[in-house]
Amino acid sequence: MRQRDMSYLVILLLGLCALYTMWSGILMDVRGLPTFILHAEMGYACAALGALHLALNAPLIRSYAHRWHRPAPSYRPVRGRRDFLQGALAMLAGGVIGFWVGKAAPREGRPAPTDRGGASPPPQPTPSGAAIPLPPPLPSTLMLDEALRRRRSRRDYASLPLSQGELAGLLFAAQGITDPLRAFRAAPSAGATYPLETYALVHRVEALAAGLYRYRPAEHALELLREGRFERHIMQIGIGQGMLAQAGVVIILSAVPARTERRYGGRAERYILLEAGHAAQNVYLAAEGYGLGACAVGAFDDEALNAFLGVDGRREKALYMVAVGKRRA
Ligand SMILES: Cc1cc2nc3c(=O)[nH]c(=O)nc-3n(C[C@H](O)[C@H](O)[C@H](O)COP(=O)(O)O)c2cc1C
């Protein structure tokens, strides 16, 4: 292949990759998507093809550089006022169209100006207490289809302790990190904003002191917030539901709305509640896979649960609980 043909081919490929990158970038911006298939790869291809294009045209670039210092009589840096005006108008039109597309996009799903839709989640709270490492999640004994078929809300538990592997599996199902590179989690999250916080109120878990713990997804670890027996207290918060005291552990989901509001404004409230549902369903299925009993709890005193977690109900608020315990034989 002649060098000139090769150069044209590179320009063609470069144009196609640039078009795809531009189109997918606009789509991500308009729809508030954190990522889009092949967007980043096409960007890298653009960089590689651009470098190849420069390399193929090195002699030409050298000759331009040479002329820059000693302009040839026929060399005209600007071809004319008309060409210059055309170029400036094209640039302006591109800018206006880009601005208009961004403005016309519905508020829903459109990232805030400060959030360019990156795939990395927003900053999570800085861990304060010591991390108590959890073992890897216990493997499920059921295939997913079987777990789906068998899942039920079970409210009657034996007073046997859960193993740490079971607890690890329940927490991992709720919010565990499944893609360490991007810190994506087991449950989906609108724009990967991850507003949920996960707590484990431990009543009976092998080799773990009873008390309230926060799950730290990044380390797959627990942080002890309050040591003590809170069976009666959580039952009172849950308007007298006995299973909250009988359970081996109560998984409590709360949300930090600002993480999602920054990006989705008023739409965030809906997204956050949907996410709590995803996480809770994962806990149900994990529990079923371990032969444990689980039951969602939405009926509780909001203020009392917020106070128990030590959150203010605005910056962070309790949303949902799932009681989990050993089934009675
Ligand atoms: C949002 C929500 C809140 C719930 N709150 C409670 C609750 O406070 N107490 C309870 O015993 N069950 C609660 N449940 C469980 C439902 O009662 C249960 O899902 C329903 O009876 C259907 O049974 P199944 O889960 O076995 O299919 C809740 C379920 C959901 C989805």
Rounded mean pLDDT of 108-128? 47
Phi, psi of 7 (to 5 degrees): -60, -40
> Where in the sequence is the domain holding 201, given as residue range(s)?
131-326
What's the confidence (pLDDT) of residue 312?
98
What's the confidence (pLDDT) of residue 75?
47
First and final CA of the chain: distance in angstroms? Answer: 76
289 & 207 share domain: yes
What's the confidence (pLDDT) of residue 110?
44
What's the confidence (pLDDT) of residue 111?
42
What's the confidence (pLDDT) of residue 54?
84
Could you tell me the distance, in angstroms and rounded to a whole number, from the CA of residue 297 to the centre of ligand 1?
6
189 & 88 share domain: no
pTM of the model: 0.69
Report residues whose beta carbon is within 6 angstroms of any ligand 1 atom: 152-153, 155, 241, 295-299
* pLDDT score of 262 more than 90: yes
Could you tell me the distance, in angstroms and rounded to a whole number, from the CA of residue 155 to the centre of ligand 1?
10
Q: How far is CA 9 from CA 2, 50, 74, 90, 199, in A?
A: 11, 12, 29, 25, 57
Could you tell me the distance, in angstroms and rounded to a whole number, from the CA of residue 152 to the centre of ligand 1?
9
What's the confidence (pLDDT) of residue 278?
98
pLDDT tens digit string along 220-236?
999 999 999 999 999 99
Specify the CATH number for the domain of residue 205.
3.40.109.10
pLDDT band at 114 (very low <50, low <70, confident <90, very high): very low
| The total number of structural domains that make up the chain | 2
Could you tell me the distance, in angstroms and rounded to a whole number, from the CA of residue 258 to the centre of ligand 1?
28
Residue 123, in any domain of the structure: no
What's the confidence (pLDDT) of residue 69?
63
What's the confidence (pLDDT) of residue 28?
74
What's the chain's Rg over C-alpha atoms?
A: 28
Closest-lying ligand 1 atom to the alpha carbon of residue 300: 8
Among 51, 85, 104, residue at a domain's last position: 104
Given the DSSP bridges, would you call strands 184-185 and 177-179 parallel, antiparallel or unpaired? antiparallel
- DSSP per-residue codes, 268-324: HHHHHHHHHHHHHHHHHHHHHHTTEEEEEE--S-HHHHHHHHT--SSSSEEEEEEEE
166 & 311 share domain: yes
What 8-state DSSP symbol labels residue 181?
A: T
Phi, psi of 293 (to 5 degrees): -105, 140
The rounded distance, in Å, linking the Cα atoms of 15 and 21 is: 10
CB 221 within 8 A of CB 134: yes
What's the confidence (pLDDT) of residue 24?
85
What's the confidence (pLDDT) of residue 98?
67
Closest-lying ligand 1 atom to the alpha carbon of residue 152: 26
* Top mutation candidate among 150, 151, 153 for ligand 1, by most atoms within 8 Å of CB: 153
pLDDT band at 117 (very low <50, low <70, confident <90, very high): very low
100 & 166 share domain: no
Phi, psi of 202 (to 5 degrees): -85, 120
Rounded mean pLDDT of 105-110? 43
163 & 26 share domain: no
Could you tell me the distance, in angstroms and rounded to a whole number, from the CA of residue 299 to the centre of ligand 1?
9
Rounded mean pLDDT of 25-31? 73
* pLDDT score of 115 more than 50: no
The rounded distance, in Å, linking the Cα atoms of 50 and 222 is: 48
Closest-lying ligand 1 atom to the alpha carbon of residue 243: 11
Q: How far is CA 260 from CA 8, 86, 103, 122, in A?
A: 46, 43, 20, 9
pLDDT tens digit string along 211-221?
999 999 999 99
